[in-house]
Amino acid sequence: MFEIEKNIPITSKNAYPFDSMQHGDSFLIPCDQKKALYVRGQINSLKKYYPNKIIATRKVSNGLRVWLLNKG
């Protein structure tokens, strides 16, 4: 069965720091190529929440780098 636990704080729905980023900021997600494809899919699904921003991703040697840019 399930064990009931109390007073466990809920985690953020968005695990990525887009809300605290400014134009041109980036972050690195250390991962292999297979996980990079999965993470790109996650990030692409978040783009609808940032309609005035461009979220760009690039595979780099040690993971996936993600940038937040202003449109226009």
Of the candidates 72, 58, 70, which has an alpha carbon nearest to the alpha carbon of residue 24? 70
pLDDT (0 to 100) of residue 8 = 84
The reported pTM is 0.77
- The domain limits of the chain are 23-70
Per-residue pLDDT of the chain (72 residues; tens, 9 = 90+): 888 899 887 766 678 999 899 999 999 999 998 999 999 999 999 899 899 999 999 999 999 999 999 997
Q: Are 67 and 26 in contact (CB under 8 A)?
A: yes
pLDDT (0 to 100) of residue 13 = 64
Half-sphere exposure (Cβ direction) of 16: Cα atoms closer than 13 Å = 24
Q: Are 70 and 25 in contact (CB under 8 A)?
A: no
